[in-house]
Amino acid sequence: MTAAHLTVEEKRTATDAVLVLTGEIDLATAGDLRAATDRSMREPPGRVVLDFAGVTFCDSQGLSVLISLNRDVTAAGSRLVLANVGDFMERLLEITGLRAAFEVADGAN
């Protein structure tokens, strides 16, 4: 069994911090996502966009950190946007009742 892995690459635009996620969001990697988002909030953008195109898995710990990030980013005056959410993540948000809690966009823009 291999350890979970998540890479986060930040791309800044004039108004957004786009975090391109690749890998799994779970107990082992949720802290990495939290740390990357915290770094992007040092200079708060209008939006923090989490690009899920490369995400292959998300568990309850991943959902928990997303809820926490949404609260913290909103409290700082920015918006958290989930972009390129695949079928599995869309279904996960639906069955957990969290779909309405997040702004979900088709692309990273």
> Has domain 6-105 been given CATH number 3.40.50.10800?
no
Quick: pLDDT tens for 44-97. Answer: 999 999 999 999 999 999 999 999 999 999 999 999 999 999 999 999 999 999
Distance CA 26, CA 35 (A): 14
Q: Is the pTM of this model over 0.85?
A: yes
Give the domain ranges of the chain: 6-105
Contact 4, 24 (CB under 8 A): yes
